[in-house]
Amino acid sequence: MKLASLKSARDGQLLVVNQDLSRCIDASDIAPTLQAALDNWSVCAPLLEARHQALTKQTASGMTFEAGRCASPLPRAFHWADASAYVNHVELVRKARNAEMPATFWTDPLMYQGGSDCFIGPTDAIDLIDESWGLDFEAEVAVVLDDVPMGVSVEQAAHHIVLLMLVNDISLRNLIPAELAKGFGFYQSKPSSAFSPVAVSLDELGDHWLDGKLHLPLRARLNETLIGEPNAGQDMTFDFPTLISHAAKTRPLCAGTIIGSGTVSNLDRSKGSCCLAEVRMLEIFADGKATTEFLQVGDRVRIDMLDNQAQSIFGSIDQQVQRYSRVT
């Protein structure tokens, strides 16, 4: 099944969406919001699945699905932790600044806690105060979990994945070095993220969901230019169950927790990149300097994933950068 949240109040109104994203139907009688459904997932999931079947078989009428009227599937969440599971990408970042990568990075996942109180919608503008901050997109895959006990094993963790989404993990690259140098991790350099219009259950992904990874190309476009379409199932050093077990080592994870993959990146450079920072690093290696600029006001970023029939699975994250006037 596919689920979305119509913009409404703070937490949206739960919708069931059909396979080709053309039709949808209200599901707020089953659970008013996606978070409410996740809070009571074992009861709600079969009901939502039945509604999805009815919509598919056209025994329920529904209405036209409009991604532009949707919030992120979880308009706000209690837990958003983003990993950096494509370690070749991390190695590249380090190499670009002549820093060696510790060998443990291949065995011990990198993960940071992100801001989850104000996600922006999939087609909402990205508000930017200052272009000199180095605004970048990061195209990623993310999983949504039911309740996960503290100390969960990798094997058990796999059973707690209930939905998948795409993410634009928006980053302010020029704020990162000074912030990380302070030692407490990202905060100001990672403003609100945006998620795909639709969250999708594992059965919708067929054979593409295998070994805790999603084996399909993730497409990132800037204005009319394809920036990359690396396969999210390739070169992912840590699969999602491993990331979940890492996250739950010292605490339980509440239903509705979102775990991100980090920027998707393939060793095969012909596949392009899922963020501008990687494009710039490759330019530095090739030409000694980066020529691609970070995002400017007016730029448009699109992130999506197509199935074998060239059908968008999650809908498009489609965002334009706009200038924000600082409140005083």
| Residue ranges that bind a second copy, judged by CB under 8 A | 10, 39, 76-79, 81, 84, 102, 105, 108, 110-118, 127, 129, 133, 149-153, 156, 172, 175, 180-189, 191-192, 246-247, 249-254, 256-257, 324, 326-328
**86 vs 314 by CB, closer to a second copy:** 86
Which of 3, 32, 34, 29 lies closest to 16, judged by CA?
3
Instruction: Tell me the closest approach of the beta carbon of residue 299 to a second copy, in angstroms.
Output: 17
Which DSSP string corresponds to 66-134?
A: -GGGEE-SSSS-S-EEEE---HHHHHHHHHHTT-PPPGGGGTS--EEEPP-SSPBPTTS-EEES-GGG-
Least Å from the CB of residue 78 to a second copy:
4
**Which residue number, 133 or 195, has a Cβ lying nearer to a second copy?**
133
Q: Nearest approach, Cβ of 165 to a second copy (angstroms)?
A: 17
Residue found by looking up tokens 């594992």 in the block: 202
Nearer to a second copy, 77 or 214 (CB): 77
Rg (CA), the chain: 19
Compare residues 241 and 272 and give the one whose CB is closer to a second copy: 241
Distance of CA 188 to the CA centre of its chain: 19
C-beta atoms surrounding 193 within 10 Å: 26
Rounded Cα–Cα distance for residues 81 and 64 (Å):
33
Smallest distance from a second copy to CB 146, Å: 12
CB of 152 to a second copy, least distance (A): 6
H helices within the chain, ranges in order? Answer: 34-39, 41-56, 87-96, 154-157, 176-181, 240-247, 276-287
Whether the CB-CB separation of 53 and 232 falls below 8 Å is answered with: no
Q: How far is the CB of 34 from a second copy (least distance, A)?
A: 14
Compute the distance between CA of residue 271 and CA of residue 252 in angstroms, rounded to an integer.
37
CB of 238 vs a second copy, minimal distance in Å = 13
CB of 202 closer than 8 Å to CB of 215: no
Which among 260, 254, 258 is positioned nearest to 39, based on CA atoms?
254
- Nearer Cβ to a second copy, position 63 or 180? 180
Identity of the residue, 176 or 232, whose beta carbon is nearer to a second copy in the bound complex: 176
| Minimum distance from residue 232 beta carbon to a second copy (Å) | 21
User: What does the alpha-carbon distance between residue 305 and residue 316 come to, in Å, rounded to a whole number?
Assistant: 8
Write out the E strands in 147-241.
Answer: 161-168, 171-172, 194-195, 199-200, 209-210, 213-214, 219-222, 225-228
Toward a second copy, which CB reaches closer, 117 or 268?
117
| Residue closer to a second copy, measured from CB, 151 or 206 | 151
